Amino acid sequence: MLDARFRSLSFATTAVWLATLAALTALAVTSAYWTWAWFAPRSEPAAQAPVSLVAGLDAARGLFGTVRVNRSSAAPGGTAYKLLGVVAASGGEPGYALLKLDGKRAVTVRQGGEVDPGTRVVEVNADHVVLDRSGMRETLALPRQGRNAATVTKHAE
């Protein structure tokens, strides 16, 4: 009988010893992990390549869609203008612009005068004219040799 009690006591002691060993192993692994996490040297972040502003603008250009400009057609809600020639201002006199309207008729307009209702010539320069189309400024450049006249810029006033 003593032998049976000793065996059950030996079994219980072994079970407790194994459980304690497993708990101590888990404690050691957890302690090692958190010690390394807290006290390990921090690595320097890798230097990133500088982002080019031009690349950023190119990427952003298509965000809101693009407008295709057909230079030979009329502007939305208006007439197509082509600059044929200028007489620049001199001696206190205003300049004149020779414009072709809708590819059909040519008109000469004095600086400050109206081309059509709502469209007037604001500036006449040696190589371009500036039109005001209902509050929108439009710059027409003189044609260069071998090229047609082109609208250079449009901007709100």
The pLDDT value recorded for residue 72 is 40
Q: Indicate the range of 38-52, 97-111, 129-143 predicted with least confidence.
A: 38-52
- Residue 92 domain boundaries: 81-156
Cα separation, 72 vs 80, whole angstroms: 7
Does any domain span residue 111?
yes
Q: 12 by DSSP, 3-state: which?
A: helix
pLDDT (tens digit per residue) in 57-92:
556 656 655 555 444 434 445 678 888 888 877 778
Distances from the Cα of 121 to the Cα of 7, 30, 105, 115, 133, angstroms: 114, 81, 17, 7, 9
Percent of the chain exceeding pLDDT 90 equals: 13
pLDDT category of residue 50 using cuts at 50, 70 and 90: low
The pLDDT value recorded for residue 21 is 96
Q: Higher model confidence: residue 63 or residue 31?
A: 31
Does any domain span residue 56?
no
The pLDDT value recorded for residue 18 is 94
Beta carbons within 10 angstroms of residue 6's beta carbon: 10
Clarify whether residues 97 and 152 are in a common domain. yes
Does any domain span residue 13?
yes
- How many residues are listed for the chain in this entry? 157
Q: Could you tell me the CATH number of the domain that includes residue 125?
A: 2.30.30
The pLDDT value recorded for residue 5 is 60
Q: How many domains does the chain have?
A: 2
Does any domain span residue 63?
no
Cα separation, 99 vs 104, whole angstroms: 10
Clarify whether residues 33 and 90 are in a common domain. no
The pLDDT value recorded for residue 62 is 60
Is the per-residue pLDDT at 54 higher than 90? no
Does any domain span residue 132?
yes
Does any domain span residue 128?
yes
Radius of gyration of the chain (CA): 42
Clarify whether residues 93 and 29 are in a common domain. no
Is the per-residue pLDDT at 96 higher than 50? yes
The pLDDT value recorded for residue 127 is 86
Place of tokens 């390394």: 36
Q: What integer is the mean pLDDT of 3-7? A: 61
Does any domain span residue 89?
yes
Q: Which helix (H) or strand (E) holds 120?
A: strand 119-124
Does any domain span residue 86?
yes
